[in-house]
Structure 1
Amino acid sequence: MQAQIRFIYQCTLVAAIGGLLFGYDTAVVAGAIGYLEEKYQLSAAMTGWAASCALIGCMIGAMLAGALSDKLGRRKVLMLSAWAFAVSSIGIMIPLGLNLFIFFRLIGGIGIGIASILSPMYISEIAPASIRGKLISIYQLGIVIGILLIYFVNAAIAGMHDHQWNVDTGWRWMFGSGLLPSIVFILLLLRAPESPRWLAAQNKWDMATDILEKINGKAGAAEEVTSIKSSLAEKQGNFSELLRPGLRTALIIGILLSIFSQVTGINVIMYYAPEIFKATGDGSSSALLQTIWVGGINVLMTLVAIRYVDRLGRKKLLLIGSAGMAVCLAFVGGAFYQEATTGYWVLGGILLYISFFAISLGPLTFVVVAEIFPNSIRGRAMGVAIFFLWLSVYIVSQTFPMLLESIGSASTFWIYMIMSVLAFLFIWKMVPETKGKTLEEIQDLWKPKS
């Protein structure tokens, strides 16, 4: 039993490195965007584009990942994402101008988009039902550790020399620092096993059974094999199957949950935290330190989610989180409206908002989306849902500087508050509880009731 648990966690931690790179590479822009804006004298629209251009690559990666992984396997395509991270980091280190910066950010975005689908999918296809929520949430822990790590790296690099050095060179070092975790991910993937459910779908039953025995023991593996065979026998491999009644509901839930996880404003905080804190009157160094607080709270509360997701269930935590986010965003918007931004009011409101996000929409969006689709089409179905996640991130990141310029901080945060209220209502009405169910049992939720 001890060997089984160790094997499961080893596989999970390798996939979670993909999450770490996801968080690291998306949040690096938080420390660099101010210097990049100054170096190239960017308008509000161009600042948004520089911050969010990687997200176009994320959408491309998300759409490619599902079909590629269904054909080539989860592990091989995760390796592709690791190489994309590495190439992006090296390319941005070379001072070749704004256009090539955008090009290499797009490559990095493709890596992020692939990892955002395949890391949680890989974990879901290896994890036992009883701890699947916890294990997929470890992927989100990887993301938030990556975010916190790059906040420290950004602050350390920014403190190496003077402001002008950061404008000319420092921000490139921030992006280039992603090369080291990329190499670690590549080396770990060389020893990782393939997903047993993907192997089963390729009729490689001996290999699939061998991995399932390492996870569940011989008796448990035999039950899993029977369940997987029954699931695959239904021949749900065509994409059009997702538009059938039942599965169409699963697709709508996956898409809308992905959208709500982003239009409630989380990446505004992750990408623009130093700029938000500067708007409260703090200088650059203080703003970067407050941003580290944001990353630290994100990690701490994700650990809370990992502890309770398989006890309280997905739905309860999602409802608590979305309600709390709405209250915090109302408060932060009110602080800006009343111009009461000195002291720690805004920081406190944002840290509470991060806390509620980190126990709910942060990890549990990936948990639910990785669980709800049938085995034979999970890759492509997740590709669609996560495509909409990245499209939402892009829209929010691109429009945030323009919203600040046109309607001000208060109204901008209140828009995200309204989105949080809508997320609460959607979760309450539409999202089923999947705690403790096998992937095959969840698949049965979408069958027409006779």
Structure 2
Amino acid sequence: MEKQGNRNYVYKITIVAAVGGLLFGYDTAVVAGAIGFIRLRFDLSPAMMGWIASCALVGCVTGALFAGYLSDRFGRKKILILSAILFAVSSAGTAMPQDLSWFVVFRIIGGLGIGIASMISPMYITECAPAAIRGRLVSINQFGIVTGILLIYFVNAGIAGLHDEAWNIHTGWRWMFGSGIVPAVIFFGLLLFVPESPRWLIQADRTTEAEQILTKINGVIKAKAELKEIKAAIHTETGTFSELFKPGLRTALVIGVILSIFSQVTGINAIMYYAPEIFKSTGDGSGSALIQTILVGVVNLLFTIVAIKYVDRAGRKGLLMAGSAGMAICLAIVGTAFYLDAVRGYLVLMAILAYIAFFALSLGPLTFVVIAEIFPNRVRGRAMSICLFFLWSAVYFVAQFFPMLLKSVGSAYTFWMFMVTSVIAFLFIWKFLPETKGKSLEDIEKSWQPR
């Protein structure tokens, strides 16, 4: 029996779970490099372009909605394995079809995997993490997401550079989607070597297994205390949807849902999905636009590392407020540049990179940190499913309507709309979001109980 917790063990299982985040980022961002070629290959209208970019999100919404129930019934680990299988099937399928109908079907299958991983990976990490470093560990999942985004940006640029544009329009985009098989298989293999969530094991009356894992994570003394605390918390919970709408937890649910929506309607996926097209609109060719898109991925990665370092020191609320305020300023600059037709040069690029930096410091990683830690154990899966249902619905809304907004109201007013939502997000976080750094999951649960 270990007297002290094994931090290396905690980081190992966190990194494996974060590969689910990597697949999430890889599969959602692959469309950024491919959408321009698909548009030319199939002569897409703005509405169809939005549908092709966002069709996977139908699967994301569905996957997130049912992931909580499935993970509560079968365990976090098994459902993560299911997500890896769905990723692999989707990657193979989207590389092969000759018509858009089958392409859409396989993208929706991939979306199911994304929706599942987006919920289960941070929840699994939360349920394994010691309270003192929980924010950092859950943020590693976001590091996985942005690593996946950056990786596929490089892969897309590499594939696009193999041959001329005609080859990319006919074949290159297929290779971009098919490349996802490799990380999906790696994720599947790594999951075979990690344990089940100790909190789920206790819920499933497998206490001995749970205690062994908690001992590895926290050491003997803390493990026994935490085991007792978890059992007491589970004993007082009903674990039903109706519990989420009772006083106290109802507030937590509203905060989780609204924060999830704000993380997307502030414009991040409009930029991530359409970055090359945005940069082309400033006068750059497709090659230069893809390189600038890689810069977006690099900045996203670097500032996510900053968030990982400071989230357990600065706290969730301060970083979220700073990030949303900075995003609003950057979006105001981008919108104004388009309004004044001053988009050539580096102004728009620098403002978008700064926007990405502020997002990566705040709403990017910390939305998942907050919604993974504010709910009690037995309803965490169901509650996160609701939050992520709204998150992915918001992603779908933005991805579907962004091309149409650009066409109907123009770039300036579109980015100003995102600026306004960023300001509202700042006000919401300042007024309603509690600080949770350093608290155990059970202490956070007690804070919602009516006084």
Please report the TM-score for the alignment, with normalisation by the length of structure 1.
0.99
Unaligned runs of 5+ in 2: none
Alpha-carbon separation, structure 1, partners of 2:214 and 2:97: 48
Matching residue of 2:18: 16
| Cα distance between partner residues in 2 of 1:122 and 1:242 | 20
Q: Separation in 2 of the partners of 1:162 and 1:376? A: 54
**Equivalence map 1:90-109=2 (5 Å):** 90-109=92-111
Structure 2 distance, partners of 1:403, 1:294, is 22
Which of the residues 261, 264, 276 maps onto 2:263? 261
| CA-CA distance at 1:3 after TM superposition | 6.8
Deviations 1:306-334 (A, max 9, x none): 00000000000000000000000000000
Q: Cα distance, 1:236 vs. partner?
A: 2.9
Q: How does 1:122-133 map to 2 (within 5 A)?
A: 122-133=124-135
Contact 2:5 2:219 in 1 (8 A): no
Q: Distance in 2 between matches of 1:100 and 1:379?
A: 31
Are 1:378 and 2:380 an aligned pair?
A: yes
Residue 89 of structure 2 aligns with which residue? 87
Counterpart-to-counterpart distance in 1, 2:301 and 2:9: 24
Match of 1:237 among 233, 236, 239: 239
User: Amino acid of the residue matched to residue 425 of structure 2?
Assistant: A
Return the match for 2:160 from 135, 158, 161: 158
- Distance in 2 (alpha carbons) for counterparts of 1:3 and 1:181: 30
Question: Which residue does the alignment assign to 1:351?
Answer: 353
- 1:208 paired to 2:210: yes
Counting only pairs closer than 5 Å after superposition, residues 163-242 of structure 1 correspond to structure 2 as 163-242=165-244
Deviations 1:330-372 (A, max 9, x none): 0000000011111100000000000000000000000000000
Q: Which residue of 1 aligns with 2:7?
A: 5
Tell me the equivalent position of 1:309.
Answer: 311
Partner SS state of residue 32, structure 1: helix
CA–CA separation in structure 2 for the residues paired with 1:427 and 1:147:
27
5+ residue gaps, structure 1, are none
* Alignment counterpart, residue 435 of structure 1, candidates 422, 437, 440: 437
Give the whole-Å Cα distance in 2 for the aligned partners of 1:3 and 1:153.
39
Q: Deviations over 1:392-425 (max 9, x none)?
A: 0000000000000000000000000000000001
Q: Tell me if the contact between 2:34 and 2:176 (Cα under 8 Å) persists in the aligned partners.
A: yes
After superposition, give the CA deviation of every residue in 1:45-82 in whole Å (9 maximum; x if it has no partner). Answer: 00000000000000000011000000000000000000
Give yes or no for contact 2:119–2:388 (8 Å, CA) kept in 1: yes
- Distance (Å, rounded) in 1 between the aligned partners of 2:318 and 2:94: 42
Separation in 2, partners of 1:66, 1:255: 15
| Amino acid of the structure 1 residue aligned with 2:138 | I
SS of equivalent to 2:194: coil
Distance 1:53 1:238 in 2: 31
Q: How far is 1:92 from its partner?
A: 1.1
CA displacement at 1:230 relative to structure 2: 1.1
Contact 2:211 2:223 in 1 (8 A): yes
Q: Does 1:289 align with 2:284?
A: no
Out of 142, 145, 152, the residue aligned to residue 144 of structure 2 is 142
Q: Which 10-residue stretch deviates more, 207-216 or 90-99?
A: 90-99
Give distance in 2, aligned partners of 1:319 and 1:238. 33
For 1:74 and 1:267, how far apart are their aligned partners in 2? 27
Query: Which of 315, 337, 340 is equivalent to 1:338?
Result: 340
- Counterpart residue identity of residue 50, structure 2: G
Query: 1:38 is matched with which residue: 22, 40, 48?
Result: 40
Specify the code of the residue in structure 2 equivalent to 1:427: I
Could you say which residue in structure 2 is the equivalent of 1:391? 393
Q: Specify the code of the residue in structure 2 equivalent to 1:138.
A: I
What is the rounded CA distance, in whole Å, between the counterparts of 2:369 and 2:237 in structure 1? 24
Tell me which amino acid in the other structure corresponds to 2:335: G
1:273-284 aligned at under 5 Å gives the runs 273-284=275-286
Does the CA contact (< 8 Å) of 1:236 and 1:374 recur in 2? no
Partner residue, 1:57:
59
* Letter matched to residue 380 of structure 1: R
The percent of aligned pairs where both chains have the same amino acid is 64
Q: For the Cα contact (< 8 Å) 2:4–2:218, is it kept in 1?
A: no
> What amino acid is aligned across from residue 22 of structure 1 in structure 2?
F
Distance 1:162 1:3 in 2: 55
- Cα deviation, 1:92-128, whole Å, max 9, x if unaligned, reads 1113310000000000000000000000000000000
The number of equivalent residue pairs is 449
SS in 1 for 2:6: helix
**Separation in 2, partners of 1:311, 1:446:** 23
Residue of 372, 383, 403 corresponding to 1:401: 403
Q: Distance in 2 between matches of 1:422 and 1:182?
A: 37
1:26: which partner in 2?
28
* Separation (CA, whole Å) in 2 of partners of 1:438 and 1:100: 46
Deviation at 1:2, TM superposition (A): 8.0
TM-score, reference length from structure 2: 0.99
CA distance in 1, matches of 2:244, 2:436: 19
